[in-house]
Amino acid sequence: MIDQIKQQIRKRMFWDLVSLVLLFAASYILFLVFNVIDWLHTISHEVGINGIAEIIPTLCVLAVGFSIFSYRRWQDTRAFSLYAEELSMIDPMTNLPNRRAVQRILNQINAKKEYPVGVLLVDIEGLEIIRSKLGQTVLEHVMIEILYHISKHLTGEQLVAYWQAGQFVCLCPGFDNKETHLLKQKLEGISMNREKLLGLSLAFSCAASSVYNKAELENLFTDLEEQLI
C-alpha cells in the first residue's frame, strides 16, 4: 500500500512540475508579446493611481518567498513521512521488522537478483497459553528470551523479523539449501527453561527454503506454511 501511495505521489509531482513549466512558458510569452508592465504603467497614469505597475514585481517577490516556504514545508512533510513509513515496518511489541519490511527486503533482493537467499519460518507453539495464564508482561519477557536464542545462531548479515502471532522469519542472504536446512536444525533444537515458564512448555518448529529466482519467491511463504502443517 505504501509503495502504491509513493508511486501516486511521484506521478502527481511529475505532472505538477510539468504544469509549472507550462505556466512559466505561457507567462513568459505573454509578457514578451504584450509588454504587460508598460501597459499597467500607462493605465496607472491614466486613472491617476500610483503603484499599479509595481504589482507584478511585488508578486514575483511574493512568489519567491512562497516557494521557499513551500519547500521548507515539503521537507518537514517528507521527514514525517519517512518516520511514519519506518514505524509502519516495525512490530510495536518486539521492535523487530514486521511482515511489510520482510516483503520489501525480498522485493529488493529480487530487483537486484541477489540470489540465493535462505528463508526460515519459525513457529512457536505455546505462546498463547503463556499469555492467558501468566499475562502479557511475562509473554514479552519470554519473547525477548526466544529472540535471544534465535539470534545466537545468526550473524550480522542475517535478519530476524516478526511475521505474525507466534511466528518469526529469518532471512539469510547467500544461503543455499544445505546452509538453510542446517540453520533450521539449530533453531528446532532451541529449548527453554521450564522453570522460567512455571512448568509450561514451548515447541519450536521450523520451515526452511532457499530461493533462487522470482518464481520461487512468489510462492515462498505458501510453501513454508505448508511445510509447517
User: What type of residue sits at position 139?
Assistant: L
Domain shared by 109 and 72, yes or no:
no
pLDDT at 15: 84
Answer with the one of 88, 123, 155 that is the final residue of a domain.
88
Domain shared by 135 and 212, yes or no:
yes
pLDDT at 210: 93
Is 53 inside a domain boundary? Answer: yes
Domain shared by 35 and 122, yes or no:
no
CA angle 158-159-164, nearest 5°? 150
Is 93 inside a domain boundary? Answer: no
The range of the structural domain enclosing residue 140 comes to 99-228
d(CA 56, CA 53) in angstroms, rounded, equals: 7
Contact by Cβ (8 Å): 117, 123: no
Answer with the one of 59, 88, 117 that is the final residue of a domain.
88
- CB-side neighbour CA atoms (13 Å) of 108: 9
CATH classification of the domain holding 198? 3.30.70.270
The rounded average pLDDT for each run of 10 residues, N- to C-terminus, in the chain (229 residues) is 69 80 79 70 64 66 80 81 84 89 92 92 89 86 88 90 92 94 90 66 89 91 89
Looking up cell 504603467, which residue turns up?
A: 41
- CB-side neighbour CA atoms (13 Å) of 97: 15
Question: Residues 6 or more apart from 202 whose CB is under 8 A from it?
Answer: 124, 125, 126, 127, 130, 142, 146, 192
d(CA 14, CA 20) in angstroms, rounded, equals: 10
Domain shared by 204 and 126, yes or no:
yes
Domain shared by 116 and 76, yes or no:
no
Is 27 inside a domain boundary? Answer: yes
- Report the number of distinct structural domains present in the chain: 2
What is the model's pTM? Answer: 0.69
d(CA 24, CA 34) in angstroms, rounded, equals: 15
